[in-house]
Amino acid sequence: MKNALGAVDTVLLLGGRSEIGLAIVERLVRDGARRVVLAARDATAGPPPVIGAAEVHLLDFDASRPETHGEVIEAAAKLVGDLDVVIPAFGVLGSQRTYDADPVAAAEAVAVNYGGHVSAGLFAARRLREQGHGTLVVLSSVAGVRVRRANFVYGSAKAGLDGFAQGLGDALHGSGARVMVVRPGFVIGRMTEGMSPAPMSSTPGQVADAVIVGLRVDAEVVWVPGRLRVFFAVMRMLPRAVWRRMPR
């Protein structure tokens, strides 16, 4: 539940090593969050990191095992109480060339990038609905707004996730719980290391700053940077023959 100053108190990060996710958590703690759960693969093998003045707990979490996601979310709630913000921040980028050569790898990536978020999102939504409050922050991507042939496996998973998040938000309407969809463009970080930045790129910190603003104003969709909203309004209207010739 938000405190008297409007700040959240508890945060669950699924994908506890994510650059974007940790940047969001650090800003929430700076704004007043006191209890944090970081859930990641083999998270409990080491000591919890120091994140401001927050009380930090670690849980093991495997995005590829949806049958365990509900247990992780319930375990987080037992550790810190009601969950004010849940951030699923896991996924793999991969390359279209790799997926063309190895369709099994493509299917495994989609299982994490879409399927893992569906199970984690539904389990989180159940918890937030029962609480009667809380926000699920879904990290989508402009890659899913209109899928390019250069990364269509990754883009199609993000397109599915974006649609799922919007539908889940509609399903939660009136329950006190809500979903905020975040659509960053190219993010310069570990996941994109070695790649040439695209126009209107951002950093994990810039994405986190936009998320914090979105949480404060109860936004439903956050574009990072904001001008991508106008850009993709135009891109959606391009004839397919033109879109097909977009640079790889």
Is 146 inside any structural domain? yes
Is 3 inside any structural domain? no
4 pLDDT exceeds 60? no
Q: Please report which confidence band the pLDDT of residue 246 belongs to, taking 50, 70 and 90 as the band edges.
A: confident
Asked whether 166 and 125 are in contact (CB, 8 A), the reply is: no
**154 annotated active-site:** yes
Enumerate residues 6+ apart whose C-beta is below 8 A from 137: 24, 85, 86, 87, 88, 180, 182, 211, 215
Is 212 inside any structural domain? yes
Once rounded to an integer, what is the mean pLDDT over residues 82-100? 95
27 pLDDT exceeds 80? yes
- Could you report how far apart the first and last alpha carbons of the chain are, in Å? 45
The residue from 154, 157, 172, 211 that is catalytic is 154
Is 1 inside any structural domain? no
Largest CA distance in the chain: 54
Is 2 inside any structural domain? no
Q: pLDDT tens digits, residue range 28-86?
A: 999 999 999 999 999 988 888 889 989 999 999 999 999 999 999 999 999 999 999 99
192 pLDDT exceeds 60? yes
Asked whether 86 and 124 are in contact (CB, 8 A), the reply is: yes
Look up residue 109 and give its two tokens: 């990536």
HSE of 93 in the Cβ direction (CA atoms, 13 Å)?
A: 15
Is 89 inside any structural domain? yes
Residue 90's CATH number: 3.40.50.720
The owner of tokens 């023959």 is: 241
Is 95 inside any structural domain? yes
Residue 33: domain span: 10-243
Is 29 inside any structural domain? yes
Surface-to-core class of residue 186, CB atoms within 10 Å of its CB (0-12 exposed, 13-18 middle, 19+ buried): middle
Query: Which residues make beta-bridge pairs with 58?
Result: 38
The domain tally of the chain equals 1
Surface-to-core class of residue 131, CB atoms within 10 Å of its CB (0-12 exposed, 13-18 middle, 19+ buried): middle
Quick one: pLDDT at residue 1?
54
- 26: number of Cβ within 10 Å: 17
Looking at per-residue confidence, does 9 or 5 come out higher? 9
CA distances from 208 to 26, 102, 138, 202, 213 (A): 9, 34, 12, 10, 9
Identity of the residue numbered 53: A
Look up residue 244 and give its two tokens: 């097909």
Q: pLDDT tens digits, residue range 119-173?
A: 999 999 999 999 999 999 999 999 999 998 989 999 999 999 999 999 999 999 9
Report percent pLDDT > 90 for the chain.
Answer: 75
HSE of 205 in the Cβ direction (CA atoms, 13 Å)?
A: 0
CA distances from 138 to 21, 100, 164, 193 (A): 11, 27, 10, 23
